[in-house]
Structure 1
Amino acid sequence: MAPSKTQIANAFKASKALGISTEEIRPVLRDLYKSFHKNWEHIEADNYRVLFDRYFEMQENKGEAEKRDERPGKAVHLAEEDQVSKRTGSSFELPLKHSTHSGNVQFPRHVVSGNGRVHPERASAVSLTSHTNYFMKPKNEGSTNDAIVSAEQTSMRRPGPMNGSARIQRPKTDSNGASISRPMNGAARIQRPKTDSNGASISREDKKPIIYKSDITKSTEKVPISLVDDVGIESLPKFNYIPQNIIYQNANLNISLSRIADEDCCPDCFGDCLSAAFPCACARETGGEFVYTPEGLLKEDFLSNRMALVREPDKQPHVYCQDCPIERSKNEDMPEKCKGHVVRRFIKECWRKCGCDMQCGNRVVQRGISCKLQVFWTPQGKGWGVRTLEVLEKGSFVCEYVGEIMTNTELYERNMESTGSERHTYPVTLDADWGSEQILRDEDALCLDATLHGNVARFINHRCFDANLVDIPVQVETPDRHYYHLAFFTTRKVNAFEELNWDYGIDFDDEDHPIEAFQCSCGSPFCRNINRKGKQR
């Protein structure tokens, strides 16, 4: 089946993300599409990995041809293989897969002969996809039938990465004798020789390698989340990926079925609550109506209400603590008056005590991430960011903000001990119901910090006012408003390869905040930091 215009456009966008122009990638894409017998799925696999391997290989072969003064009869390697196949009449099956218990090894067209065997001389330069338990034997180390050996047989002399990340298997030297390093930290580093206009070799220090990880989640999410850096940042972000919140130390979080009364759940329901004639008890939190559509999207009215709250917080109702935990953490002896907390609308999802099943339409956030996301190094100087690899409709659930559950005091103390270079994330304060009690215990004043332990949301950048994500409180396993899940939903339709962002709600004039406000570079025409500077002038 021929690819759609959207699929072709997505391939071009992925190429541009690696600095490859549409004009450069178009002929490679066309040739690869023919090679795969018009099977577009193989091109899209693993974020167009085969496409980029073919492009870089052709660039290398092109450089070799130029160094040979482009002598007649010396065609590029891929073109030479095409001529051989035409003369011999042999056909190449793509892709040839060797199944393992943890993944597949895919070999490009020029590695496989007409009878399906693998050429060891050519296979030595092939990159293996992630989660692979097979390694290639070096040249002249065995016959064609022995070109593939198990990892267990070679582990003593050819150790490989054990964390499931992609490793680019390359020979120790290329055809020009240039050495190629092998990464040891599990991140794939695609290293290409660089030459000037005269064909002279340029030092590797002038061009840093691409960093690629096929999955940063340690297989804890339903879908893998990749990481790519084509700029060449030397070190990957240091943190432990967790798919669900964990308690740091003193936070009070009592989750038990006995704490959920029958009026706070729907024990008599079955199947899908959204298909029932009347909304169940779980919809009481949202005015007796479910906020999800049958497609799992947020309804327009609920989403609009939440967006208005984010964009005009001063016009929304506030609650005030008699003894504010934030002010108390700053100065326990003489805390200042509470500056107020915005009253937020909650979503209450069905949970384990409910009679419905896991596919109930009122269980969206708790089912986890289902869209394809990628962490990448932003070209605008904002550091790491997150983009979607597929189109997301308005009101789509993207991910939850996951981190360590801490008390407000613990977070304040951690911030005082850490330096600016150690602070990679902006913590979340779970203050939606603090004003309901006159005096709130410190262990009930909860926050989320994803600096050391967190999920993909820790990489989502800030954008003032017109962000394409909005955060919404969601109750799942407890009716206690002191703790809730912070879920991100799209505020509009988001295109594939578009960066995701949300409004942190930062007050750039607040000099007393434990975390110093950063220099905002969100690029929004409504940027509060830019407008603030304009007023100061």
Structure 2
Amino acid sequence: MNVVVDFAFSRIMELCMYDVNDFTEGLESNPIYYENLQLSKSMKTFKYICSNIPGPGCNMDNYVEQFCGCNCRPNCEPISCPCIKQQGLNYQNGRLLENIICGDSSKAILECNSKCSCVRACSNKLVQNGIKYKLEVFTVKNKGLALRTLETIPRGSFVCEYAGEIVSEEEAIKRSKNLTKDDMNYLFILNEHCASGIIQTFIDPKYKGNIGRMINHSCDPNLTMYPVRINNSIPRLALFANTDIERLVELSFSYGTSSNCDTGNKKACYCGTAMCTNYLPFDTSVFL
């Protein structure tokens, strides 16, 4: 009994001691600060989470399910690990395989999970081990808050997730309709095409999300998003570097290609790249 009490007290103290200027609230291995520490507290408007959590309308059966684990020890070998053999190899030397980055492969990415016997440093565990690079929140003219790297990130490296509440389509429509023209819309709709049709996942980090919420759109981004599955069928939206990213460069990914609305309802894109389409991607399906 004393052991349980001591552990609980220790955990409470640990949570109370995190740096108040850390956007991640002490939940990531590296703290992430705002460039102006005096403004960091006022600019933080959401509860930090490391990965997706169930939100209103989420199908809880998808969270209850658990993939089977492998019995590999201490590490997994591609020729014998059932997790790797199921969908094929994902990573090499801690980076995403080149054929996946180049788009030559459309395979699903499946990592070893919490039921696997392999060690945490297993070569098939990458996204689940969290953010490894030092990042910083800063401000950019016309775009507001943004995220940049404080160290060089090699091509193929995992940077962070785009995490939030997994909500139902009905909840996504409700939240979208409540937005004003000045509100930021963080809702991301993932469309996965498979033999049975299109699987849609609605992720909203507006109220609860991670640092991926700070990443702006670019028509020529340096990050690419890949759905990664670990413990169950709910995808984790992992962002990988699609090029070598130098220190102090802003991180960006494409919000999509949809632009099926009239010009008056679109928001201007300020990515500044040669490939800029002038407007941010916009999907009207959740406004119907």
How high is the TM-score relative to the length of structure 1?
0.45
Within the alignment, does 1:511 sit opposite 2:261 as a pair? yes
Task: Please say if residues 127 and 238 of structure 2, whose CA atoms lie closer than 8 Å, have aligned partners that are also in contact.
Answer: yes
1:175 alignment counterpart: none
Residues 141-198 of structure 1 show CA distances to partners (whole Å, capped at 9, x for unaligned) of: xxxxxxxxxxxxxxxxxxxx98733xxxxxxxxxxxxxxxxxxxxxxxxxxxxxxxxx
Task: Please say if residues 229 and 377 of structure 1, whose CA atoms lie closer than 8 Å, have aligned partners that are also in contact.
Answer: no
**Which of these residues, 260, 270, 276, is aligned with residue 527 of structure 1?**
276
1:399 alignment counterpart: 160
Equivalent AA in structure 2 for residue 417 of structure 1? N
**Which of these residues, 41, 47, 70, is aligned with residue 240 of structure 1?**
47
Between the two proteins, the alignment pairs up a number of residues equal to: 263
Query: Taking structure 1 as reference, are residues 420 and 258 closer, same or farther at Cα in structure 2, changes over 3 Å only?
Result: closer
SS at match of 2:61: coil
**Which of these residues, 349, 352, 370, is aligned with residue 111 of structure 2?**
349
**Which of these residues, 70, 78, 81, is aligned with residue 280 of structure 1?**
81
Residues 352-390 of structure 1 show CA distances to partners (whole Å, capped at 9, x for unaligned) of: 222212110100000111110111011x32110000001
Cα deviation, residue 256, structure 1: 6.8
User: Bigger radius of gyration, 1 or 2?
Assistant: 1
Query: Taking structure 1 as reference, are residues 393 and 255 closer, same or farther at Cα in structure 2, changes over 3 Å only?
Result: same
1:451 alignment counterpart: 206
Task: Please say if residues 470 and 491 of structure 1, whose CA atoms lie closer than 8 Å, have aligned partners that are also in contact.
Answer: yes
Bigger RCO of structures 1 and 2 (CA < 8 A, at least 6 apart): 2
1:474 alignment counterpart: 228
Equivalent AA in structure 2 for residue 402 of structure 1? A
Percent identity over the alignment is 33
Query: Taking structure 1 as reference, are residues 357 and 228 closer, same or farther at Cα in structure 2, changes over 3 Å only?
Result: same
1:69 alignment counterpart: none
Cα deviation, residue 255, structure 1: 5.2
Task: Please say if residues 434 and 445 of structure 1, whose CA atoms lie closer than 8 Å, have aligned partners that are also in contact.
Answer: no
Within the alignment, does 1:216 sit opposite 2:46 as a pair? no
Q: Give the Cα–Cα distance (whole angstroms) in 2 for the partners of residues 469 and 277 of structure 1.
A: 26
Task: Please say if residues 225 and 373 of structure 1, whose CA atoms lie closer than 8 Å, have aligned partners that are also in contact.
Answer: yes
**Which of these residues, 190, 199, 222, is aligned with residue 430 of structure 1?**
190
Cα deviation, residue 280, structure 1: 1.7
Equivalent AA in structure 2 for residue 422 of structure 1? D
Task: Please say if residues 475 and 485 of structure 1, whose CA atoms lie closer than 8 Å, have aligned partners that are also in contact.
Answer: yes
Task: Please say if residues 165 and 205 of structure 2, whose CA atoms lie closer than 8 Å, have aligned partners that are also in contact.
Answer: yes
Cα deviation, residue 519, structure 1: 0.7
Task: Please say if residues 192 and 200 of structure 2, whose CA atoms lie closer than 8 Å, have aligned partners that are also in contact.
Answer: no
Equivalent AA in structure 2 for residue 473 of structure 1? P
Cα deviation, residue 456, structure 1: 0.6
**Which of these residues, 299, 315, 320, is aligned with residue 97 of structure 2?**
299
Cα deviation, residue 228, structure 1: 1.7
Equivalent AA in structure 2 for residue 297 of structure 1? R
Q: Which has the higher strand share?
A: 2
Q: Give the Cα–Cα distance (whole angstroms) in 2 for the partners of residues 232 and 255 of structure 1.
A: 39
Equivalent AA in structure 2 for residue 498 of structure 1? V
Structure 2 unaligned spans of 5+: 1-15, 282-288
Q: Give the Cα–Cα distance (whole angstroms) in 1 for the partners of residues 196 and 67 of structure 2.
A: 19
How high is the TM-score relative to the length of structure 2?
0.81
Cα deviation, residue 232, structure 1: 7.5
Q: Which has the higher helix share?
A: 1
Q: Give the Cα–Cα distance (whole angstroms) in 2 for the partners of residues 302 and 493 of structure 1.
A: 16
SS at match of 2:278: helix
Equivalent AA in structure 1 for residue 108 of structure 2? F
SS at match of 1:385: strand
Query: Taking structure 1 as reference, are residues 522 and 410 closer, same or farther at Cα in structure 2, changes over 3 Å only?
Result: same
Cα deviation, residue 230, structure 1: 9.2
Equivalent AA in structure 1 for residue 110 of structure 2? K
Q: Give the Cα–Cα distance (whole angstroms) in 2 for the partners of residues 302 and 377 of structure 1.
A: 32
Equivalent AA in structure 1 for residue 101 of structure 2? L
Cα deviation, residue 422, structure 1: 2.9
**Which of these residues, 211, 224, 241, is aligned with residue 490 of structure 1?**
241
